[in-house]
Structure 1
Amino acid sequence: MVDLQERPPADHPERPDRGGRRRAGELGGLELLRWTWRQLTSMRTALVLLLLLALAAVPGSVVPQSGVDAFAANQWKEDHPTLTPIYERLGLFSVYDSAWFSAIYILLMVSLVGCIVPRTLHYARALRAVPPRAPRNLTRLPEHRVVRLDAPVDDVLARARTLLGGRRYRLRPTDPDAADAVSAEKGYLREAGNLLFHLSVIIVLVGFAWGALFGYQGGVIVLQGGTFANTAASYDDLNPGSRFGADDFDPFLFTVDDFDITWLTEGAAAGTARAFKAALTYRDGDGPEDQYDLRVNHPLTIGSTDLFLVGHGYAPVITVRDGNGDVAYSGPTVFLPQDESFLSFGVVKAPSARPGQLGLEGLFYPTFDLVDGDPTTVWPDDLDPLISLNVWTGDLGLDDGVPQSVYLLDTSKASQVTQDDGRPFRLDLRVGETRQLPDGLGSVSFDSVQPWVRIQVSQTPGKEVALLGVVAALIGLLGSLFIRSRRVWVRARPGTGEDAGATMVEVAVLDRSGGADLSDVLDEIVRGLRDPEPSSHPKEPQ
């Protein structure tokens, strides 16, 4: 059977070129790179990347960040063992250091630079350009007026130039080919506002990047009466920038002299803290000592370092004696709050206890009470504190040479201390009480309660740059919103017929920003042309 279907010609786009040449519409390597660059540097792509950056920052404010609050991050991991491996693989515990966040950040920078540079060059050419000639038929423009004036054509045109020049319009030089019209334009700063706004985004991004590279952020828990020296070893958690060195720490120290909380006692918000104040004594280097009341949203700046009050809690003072009667552990122990009632969890480790190591873990109740038979704390202040601890003995893994968190107790090789009936032995102690441990293991005393404060210490060298970018963004946004870009043309011709001896004037205004009502502008210009002293009218706003 003969196939009567017509074959496509050799140059048809569906027919492959056996000579190795590209088919019609196919992009080569260089063309593909140019197309990709145009797409990346388009304003649409920049807006999409800016939205993606904002969305990418959301997990950083929802999920606890290891570099900001390592304690909260560890607590979240313990409460969500299933999601933790997924979050760690995605880098959600350190969003701003993750590869995907950095990729969006860099692409946005490249897109903005590639978008702004051509627009700036085009704007520079526009600044040097003169207003365009008047269109042939001004009455076809949406906003126009035709008026009859009893003045010579040259006087009307001179009056128009004086009027528009006084209103800060840029005038087109007299053109022999268009001597019957005056062309004027204003609002050049509107595009400058747009460029400034986009440039300010780059400035803000550079400021944040500068702070991330050359700054650091750390957290430390300091007991009331305790002293902190600004060295890397003193921090509980430290997240330095990649360009920040150990010699870049400001040489200061401070002591927490007192910590005071004002609690709300009435209404639905009863039990909520109204104000926090940590009284500090600090010294910058070899300088004199000074005092400062550190409060929420009122940081202390020492050198180029800022100190923020971000949390507080309680540290029960516990003394552990071993079976020989020797003190194996004594001092305040930081317990971490678990909820708004300041029910707190903590761990005590006594590695030197004999005949075996002792470990205690449990809860601290600031104001203990039984509600329906269940232990709870009925007030966040330490009005009637109680500690409830389980006791472990044996190998707590403290001699293995592996670093351990002071807030976790390794009981994998230890045994829990039990009562005679086999039930777990639990210590329930109020302030001033001491209880003996079974099997001659020793005793535990609850001596007092000492408050602690958590202070965030950070050095962000790029914050002034970021602030400058924010201010520039506001100025650019105001300029782009309130500065109107418009063109005005005035044409004057001798009248004919019934208008012989007069001058027919056509006035047209074109708003290049769009959406503006230009009737008032037209009326002002027409009144100025009728008035022999147009400078007496108020100037039209930019």
Structure 2
Amino acid sequence: MTKARTARERASRRSDVEVPALGPLGLLRWAWRQLTKMSTALVLLLLLAIAAVPGSLFPQRVQDPDEVASYIQANPTMGPWLDRLQLFDVYSSYWFSAIYLLLFISLVGCVIPRALQHFRAWRSKPPRTPQRISRLPQYRKVMLGGRDGAAGPTPDEAIERAAAALKKRGYRVQPQDLGSAAPSVAAERGMLKEVGNIIFHVALLAVLISVAVGSLFGYKGQKVVVEGESFVNTLVDYDSFTPGTNFDADWLNPFSVQLNSFEATFSRDTSDPEHYGQPTDFNADVTLTDKPGATPQDVHLAVNKPLNVNGTKVYLVGNGYAPVVRVKDGAGHVAYEGPVVTVPSDSVYTSSMTLKVPDAGPDQLGFVGLLLPTAVSKDGEIPKSVDPGLNNPALILSSFTGDLGLDSGQPQNVYVLDTQHLKELNSMTSSNGPVLLDGQHRKVELPEHKGSVEFLDVKRYVGLDVHSDPGRIPAFISFLAAFAGLIMSLFIARRRAWVRATEAEDANGVRCTVLEYGLLARGEDHRLGVEAEKLTALWTSLWEDRGVRDYHLKSSDEA
């Protein structure tokens, strides 16, 4: 009963104690400590990876605003809410930027105090020799002297030579209590282990900064260039362009590239029919003018061998055929003449073609069909291509007339022809049949006196991918630094060693010096025992002339 009453009294007294409030400054200090924990940085890194997932699930406005508008129009209920949550602008959203910034602050808060602490530890002296070295994980004793009656070195001499030897092994040493009965030396090595750890974290910060710089000030774009045509690095000359968040069009490098010729090499090994006709190499000869007024230079562009124009990379990423056609309208005027870029759809370069002719009169014209590089036809069958090489090119087209809808102001896909409001003139299913143009039939008149289409030639085109990332080189250097720091932190061992020397006599009464030494590792170190054995071998080589033996004293001393 008394014990229960006492417990209640203690609980009552504890409940009466008022815990002081943290206050604004204390709350900020607590929040800063929580933010700068390494566990918090890892959680933020995981959150950043999760936050990037919607960027691959939903179309992004910076890449394709038309697709975003189409998505919102197709989802009138959910689309506006997703837009309010900035799921179409993930990488520039407030919540993504907040996670990114918090991760950056967390890493800075982790690294700077750790670096300062290690700097102070580096400048400080190794810790003093413990009183009981024998309690260390690795402990040894050796006796110096006593062989053939030779006296061992004095304790001070032993410690001075031991300190010099440890210094050669990379230890920083601090002799202690020289002149006393038991002088010693404290040694420490492996300070670069923590340096590597700090380098690793600083490099991660540099990677984050480099990625941010690239996403803010970089850009990428695509352009299709036909043989004989040029590409000028201006905003209006791109087929598609994705700028960084803070990119300014005035920053574009004013260079130009003219495609002189393109050659695709295909396998012609008849002993390997499975891979016959497959592409083996692509090469483009271009003329590069790296700035206005500069001397043009002929350069070679190949796959995985991009052009580097003042930090801007130009890659060869695609190719195909561009048939040259001439279209005349019903009045006999040339409404279009030039190459038409086609899109390959199979391994033999059967390519789809779309041509819109808004300048035709009195009605606009449109064509869709196929380019067959090596056309082969059989009686009663549709021609098809049997080889990617340009051996017997042919065009099979369907023609349409009417309003193409280009004057409405609505953007259209150049590779898609909307035939919903057009009148069909030629097709596979119509009575007029398709428009077939090949080496024998170069020109075909369209029905209802709508004009004609003529097959003039076939050119090659290439797809260029232009990248400018100012953070690319810093990110690569930071990655190398992070890798080097990781290797340092993994393979450099942080160790401390202490050596103490005392005078003694062996069993024959000869004065000798007992050298005892122990080692301690910072963290796990499975090689600590190997290091102890190496120190034993080191003492043996230092005092070989004096004799180094296992420690054995006279029985009186042992007692």
The one-character-per-residue Cα deviations of 1:209-232 (angstroms, maximum 9, x if unpaired) are 223322322111110010122211
Note if 1:524 corresponds to 2:537.
Answer: no
1:291 partner amino acid: D
Q: 2:516 aligned to 506, 509, 524, which one?
A: 506
Farther-moved stretch of structure 1 (390-399 vs 36-45): 36-45
The one-character-per-residue Cα deviations of 1:125-184 (angstroms, maximum 9, x if unpaired) are 111221112223222222221222232322222222122122231112525899532110
2:414 partner amino acid: V
TM-score (normalised: structure 1) = 0.81
1:277–1:344 distance in 2 versus 1, CA, 3 Å = same
Q: 1:233 aligned to 232, 236, 249, which one?
A: 236
Note if 1:115 corresponds to 2:114.
Answer: no
1:357 partner amino acid: Q
Shift of 1:123: 0.9
Note if 1:195 corresponds to 2:198.
Answer: yes
Hey, what's the Cα distance between the residues in 1 that align with 2:432 and 2:93?
Answer: 45
Farther-moved stretch of structure 1 (397-406 vs 142-151): 397-406
Whether the 8 Å contact between 1:388 and 1:427 is mirrored in structure 2 is yes
2:443 aligned residue: 434
TM-score (normalised: structure 2) = 0.79
The one-character-per-residue Cα deviations of 1:422-447 (angstroms, maximum 9, x if unpaired) are 66953333355322222222222222
Hey, what's the Cα distance between the residues in 2 that align with 1:419 and 1:463?
Answer: 51
Hey, what's the Cα distance between the residues in 2 that align with 1:463 and 1:179?
Answer: 59
How many residue pairs align between the two structures? 514
Hey, what's the Cα distance between the residues in 2 that align with 1:498 and 1:170?
Answer: 36
1:217–1:366 distance in 2 versus 1, CA, 3 Å = same
Q: 1:417 aligned to 425, 435, 450, which one?
A: 425
Unaligned runs of 5+ in 1: 1-7, 535-542
1:422–1:160 distance in 2 versus 1, CA, 3 Å = closer
- Secondary structure of 1:353 counterpart: coil
Farther-moved stretch of structure 1 (382-391 vs 257-266): 382-391
Note if 1:385 corresponds to 2:387.
Answer: no
1:419–1:509 distance in 2 versus 1, CA, 3 Å = closer
Whether the 8 Å contact between 1:67 and 1:218 is mirrored in structure 2 is no
Whether the 8 Å contact between 2:398 and 2:426 is mirrored in structure 1 is no
1:376–1:515 distance in 2 versus 1, CA, 3 Å = farther
Note if 1:448 corresponds to 2:457.
Answer: yes
| Within-5 A mapping of 1:223-302 | 223-266=226-269, 267=272, 268-284=274-290, 285-302=292-309
The one-character-per-residue Cα deviations of 1:456-485 (angstroms, maximum 9, x if unpaired) are 222222333223212322322232233221
Hey, what's the Cα distance between the residues in 1 that align with 2:393 and 2:44?
Answer: 52
2:490 aligned residue: 481
The one-character-per-residue Cα deviations of 1:87-114 (angstroms, maximum 9, x if unpaired) are x979999875566665554343222212
Hey, what's the Cα distance between the residues in 1 that align with 2:428 and 2:195?
Answer: 84
Farther-moved stretch of structure 1 (223-232 vs 443-452): 443-452
Hey, what's the Cα distance between the residues in 2 that align with 1:10 and 1:518?
Answer: 51
- Secondary structure of 1:172 counterpart: strand
1:326–1:422 distance in 2 versus 1, CA, 3 Å = same
1:335–1:422 distance in 2 versus 1, CA, 3 Å = closer
Q: 1:399 aligned to 407, 416, 429, which one?
A: 407
1:206–1:423 distance in 2 versus 1, CA, 3 Å = farther
| Within-5 A mapping of 1:331-346 | 331-346=338-353
Task: State the identity %.
Answer: 41
Could you say which structure has the larger radius of gyration? 2
2:556 aligned residue: none
Whether the 8 Å contact between 2:351 and 2:371 is mirrored in structure 1 is yes
Unaligned runs of 5+ in 2: 1-7, 146-151, 545-559
Farther-moved stretch of structure 1 (516-525 vs 273-282): 516-525
1:182–1:433 distance in 2 versus 1, CA, 3 Å = same
Hey, what's the Cα distance between the residues in 2 that align with 1:101 and 1:339?
Answer: 41
